[in-house]
Structure 1
Amino acid sequence: MCLRGTAAKLSSGSLGDLAGTEMRRRPMQWKRYGTVAVILSVLLGGAYVFWLDSQTAELPAGIVRSNGRIEAERIDVATKLPGRIAEVRVSEGQWVEAGSLVAHMDTAEIDAQLRQAKAAVAQAEQQKLQTEALLNQRLSEQEFAQAEFARAEQLAARGHAPQELVDQRKSALTTADAGVAAARAGIDLATATIASADATVERLQSIRADADLVAPHDGRVQYILAKAGEVVGAGGRVVTLTDLTDIYMTIFLPARDAGLLAIGSEARIVLDPIPEYVIPATVTFVASTAQFTPKSVETADERDQLMFRVKLTIPEDLLKAYQEQAKAGVAGVGYVRTDDTAPWPDVLSVKLPQ
């Protein structure tokens, strides 16, 4: 019994030692794996930095570089009048063409007002018809009154009718003339009423048309800012589009380089995700004021620290050719020539995906 107990104790102790040793080994193995991962990350990062440095080292005099990010003009599709959104017909990432329906506002109230305005036009037109008929009646009465007055005058001249009858016929003629004038004024009023009602219809039709939110330009839907059923105020943004025909990279250059740039000069863009390709661009903007200004600029060295924003725009025809690949937010490097006679090195020769 003692031997068996001793053996059992030895056996259990040995197993415990083995388990403890194994548990101690596992953290050490994980530490080794972590160390290897860190070393690989450092090596890859160093390789990328070395590649960038090698690109910079190959740049001849007259060519400078700066980090930047691809940007695109944004177009906000907003509602002109306050109201409830009835439907949003696009989704994020969808390509839309100019004039295509993006969203639709609730138009129940406007439609009711439009029907009322059209009814007012019809009513004014009927009033005009009635006034024209009344004018014909008044003209007939005027003609009869003129004849009666002429007869009364002839009879009075021959002594066959009293002067009182002449005065009565003259009064009747005057009344008939006034009736004709009133009828003609009624026609003018009816015509003006029709014009006013037509203007109201046109105004409401314009408001009704504004309820259909359409894309003002070709672009890709970047954000949907409001959903169906939400109530937005006047000028409330519903959808944001990205104008992929106006894509550019913004870089910042020191004063000594920015001052030598010419608007319209050639540039090159290399994007981080596709460093094997070189995209042509054009310098389309150089800021007139510095974006980064030190506290004092009394010396030449301090003036060299002034950084100016430069815009490198990608050609529109190139963007159309790569419409599906074009997107904003991609980081990269922009290259510009401070000397137009400086040749582009082979590494910056234009190279585009096939």
Structure 2
Amino acid sequence: MTDPRDRQLAALAGLVQLERRVRAAPTPAELAFLMVNETHALVPYRQAAFWRADKASIQSLSGLAAPDPEAPFTQWLDRQMAAWSSLSTPLDLTVEDMPGEEVEFWTAHLPAYGLLLPLLPADGATPVGLLLLARDVPFTDGERQLLDIVCNAYAHAWKALTGPGTKRMPLLKDRRKLAMAAAAIVLVALFPVRQSVLAQAEIAPHKPAILRAPLAGVVEEILVPPNTTITEGQKLVRMDGRELESRLEVARQALAIADAEQRQAQQQAVFDERAKTSLAVLAARREQAAADVAYAEELLARGQLTAPKAGIAIYDNPDDWAGRPVALGERILMIADPTDVELDILLPASDAIPLDIGSDIRFFLNVDPAAPLSATLTRIGYRAAPTPEGLMAYRLSGRFTEDSLQQKERLRVGLKGTAKLEGHWTILALQVLRRPLTVLRLWLGW
């Protein structure tokens, strides 16, 4: 084969490959990009632009991903292309073909020679677009023939991508996709789930013994440190007994005086009948004095508080109790069985959901959230009460399951975490929108 034949075969192969790529372009934007950049594989040029007739605007420029419609060069090309919108045959352009006021702009932005190619559809009507190629040397007849063939392919592909039928098909496809997406969303929204809510919780003793102040006074000392194991009958709290001891001493002195007066009256009654009349009064005084002594001794004995049962002593910092005045019945400490615990839950009123006794609870410890403990709901507060943080919350209780009770090292009184309570069955949409609907109801006053 000679060199000219090799070049012809190479050009033919390039043309076939380019046509294949043109017909495979999925969108008008990709086809327009291909026109101004890939045509260079057949015919070399320095600049290219494609003008779209139906929108009367530059669709693509060589070397750019997307043209800037506000750029002066783009706007100038729009004006020039609109003037040639009815072109039916290729047109050679040079700077001499430009009006006087356009010569300077052409010289500044384009090479000396240009070729304007109309993209004519098969029906031979007005072009669907114009392809401008520009370079520093004139285009040859052979190049024009190649460009005429490839422009027919461009026009056919452009018509196929932008024709009326092609607009309806993507719309139908989009509608089908939207319908399928809507159906999927509805199915997911109607998926049944258990209502659930998160609440702060703490491991608390079950039925602890509460040690309260037996009288109004001052705590002198708590005899055991916090969280100490104690035995039944062990002394735990000593009240300040100085005032009680003084009252006991006064009562004993009053009893001694009453005893002396009664004995003296009994001796006088042997010789004096009138002394017998005072014996009953003196006896009553002695009984009153004896009762005062017994009461003072009882109060003094109450000042020593002992443990009603074995367990661990639970209270705050012992230094806070030394010298602290307490009222009658005020709680001082709590005695709990470390093996008999429950879950104390504070459910915010704003998060309340319908719950039943026996509902499942999962408790995530703050110190070990990866392994939740299981429990069941045993008590639901009748009404919300203020918490130390100033929020309104329902107090709930739960009992740990047998499997969780086996993990004794994790069930320490005072450990805190988050409880997940499971309620009634509902659909996923209501579960997800529960909080927004609650806020909306408050805003609208439903």
In the superposition, the TM-score normalised over structure 1's length comes to: 0.48
Q: Greater CA radius of gyration, 1 or 2? A: 2
Please state which structure has a larger fraction of its residues in helix: 1
Higher relative contact order, chain-length normalized (CA < 8 Å, sep 6+): 1
